[in-house]
Amino acid sequence: MIPVKGYAAQDAQTDLAPWDFQRRDVGPNDVQFDVLFCGVCHSDLHQIKNDWFPGIFPMVPGHEIVGRVVKVGDNVKNFKVGDLAGTGCLVDSCQVCENCKKDLEQYCLEGNTATYNAMERDGSSPTYGGYSNSIVVREEFVLHISDKLDLAATAPLLCAGITTYSPLKHWKVGKGHKLAVLGLGGLGHMAVKFGVAFGAEVTVLSTSPKKEADAKKLGAHKFVVTTDAEQVKAARGSFDFILDTVSAAHDFNMYLGLLRTDGTMICVGVPPKPAEVAAFSLLGGRKSLAGSGIGGIAETQEMLDYCAEHNIVSEIEMIDIKDIGSAYDRMQQGDVRYRFVIDIATL
Convert the pLDDT of each residue in 137-160 to its tens digit. 999 999 999 999 999 999 999 999
The segment(s) of the chain belonging to CATH 3.90.180.10 are 2-159+314-346
Does 161-291 carry CATH code 1.10.274.10? Answer: no
Q: What are phi and psi of 58, to 5 degrees?
A: -60, 145
Task: Provide the pLDDT for residue 333.
Answer: 86
The segment(s) of the chain belonging to CATH 3.40.50.720 are 161-291
Q: Is the pLDDT of residue 228 over 90?
A: yes
Q: Is the pLDDT of residue 125 over 90?
A: yes
Q: What are phi and psi of 216, to 5 degrees?
A: -65, -35
**CA–CA separation, 275 and 256 (whole Å):** 12
Q: Is the pLDDT of residue 337 over 90?
A: no
pTM of the model: 0.96
| Tens digit of each residue's pLDDT (9 = 90 or more) over 94-107 | 999 999 999 999 99
Q: Is the pLDDT of residue 168 over 90?
A: yes
Task: Provide the pLDDT for residue 334.
Answer: 83
Task: Provide the pLDDT for residue 257.
Answer: 98
Mean predicted lDDT score pLDDT of the chain = 97
Q: What are phi and psi of 315, to 5 degrees?
A: -90, 120
Mean pLDDT along residues 88-117: 98
Non-local (6+) Cβ contacts of 240 within 8 A are 173, 177, 178, 179, 259, 260, 263, 264
* Residue burial 266-287, b: 16+ Cβ < 10 Å; e: rest: bbbbbeeeeeeeeeebbeebeb
Q: Is the pLDDT of residue 169 over 90?
A: yes
**CA–CA separation, 11 and 56 (whole Å):** 8
Secondary-structure percent of the chain, ordered helix, strand, coil, rounded to 5? 30, 30, 40
Q: Is the pLDDT of residue 273 over 90?
A: no
Task: Provide the pLDDT for residue 244.
Answer: 98
Confidence of residue 271 (pLDDT cuts 50, 70, 90): confident
Per CATH, the number for 2-159+314-346 is 3.90.180.10
Rg (CA), the chain: 20
Return the percentage of the chain with pLDDT > 90, whole number.
94
| Tens digit of each residue's pLDDT (9 = 90 or more) over 191-222 | 999 999 999 999 999 999 999 999 999 999 99
Q: Is the pLDDT of residue 57 over 90?
A: yes
